[in-house]
């Protein structure tokens, strides 16, 4: 089997939806005995000690993969497909308000993974 380069992996991820990506993350965690959240939790905990207790995640821009961003917003918010599309079309717009900093960073990472421009304040 040929060695994969990170560009190949990123190209493959762009073709996946959020459910498939989360399944992949869980498979990697199981295979290598690691937790993906562990790397995010430590910086987020440090930021929480110094920063605000609640943040707002704002979608600043859609990027090239609008459909993937809509699907991610739908999964994050629990909205229907049309409502998620309307929300994305209003960018810049708040996706989630008054969430913990760690949840805000998690949401931001999900959106950035599909090419969206996101701000956490």
Closest CA to 81 of 69, 91, 92, 93: 69
Q: In angstroms, rounded to a whole number, what is the distance separating the alpha carbons of residues 47 and 49?
A: 5
46 pLDDT band, cuts 50/70/90, is: low
* Domains in the chain: ranges and CATH: 6-120 (3.30.1390.10)
The radius of gyration of the chain from alpha carbons, rounded to an integer in Å, stands at: 15
The answer to whether 56 touches 96, Cβ cutoff 8 Å, is: yes
Confidence of residue 37 (pLDDT cuts 50, 70, 90): low
pTM of the predicted model, to two decimals? 0.57
CA distances from 51 to 59, 97, 100, 102, 121 (A): 21, 16, 11, 11, 10
Segment among 10-14, 18-22, 48-52, 110-114 with least mean pLDDT: 48-52
- Give percent above pLDDT 90 in the chain: 47
Q: What does the pLDDT read at residue 110?
A: 93
Segment of 6-10, 28-32, 88-92 carrying the highest mean pLDDT = 88-92
Provide the percentage of residues in the chain whose pLDDT is more than 70.
86
Please, what is the Cα angle at 86 between 82 and 92, to 5 degrees?
A: 150
pLDDT digits (tens, 9 = 90+) for 96-107: 999 999 899 999
**CA–CA separation, 63 vs 82, rounded Å?**
19
């Amino acid at each position: 089997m040929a060695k994969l380069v990170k560009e190949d992996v990123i190209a493959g991820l762009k073709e996946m939806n959020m459910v498939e990506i989360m399944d992949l993350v869980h498979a990697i965690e199981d295979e290598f005995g690691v937790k993906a959240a562990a790397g995010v939790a430590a910086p987020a905990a440090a930021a929480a000690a110094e920063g605000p207790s609640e943040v707002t995640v704002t979608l600043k821009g859609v990027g090239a993969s609008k459909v993937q961003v809509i699907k991610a917003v739908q999964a994050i918010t629990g909205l229907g497909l049309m409502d998620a599309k309307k929300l994305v079309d209003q960018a810049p717009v708040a996706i989630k308000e008054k969430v913990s900093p760690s949840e805000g960073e998690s949401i931001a990472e999900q959106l950035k993974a599909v090419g969206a421009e996101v701000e956490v304040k």
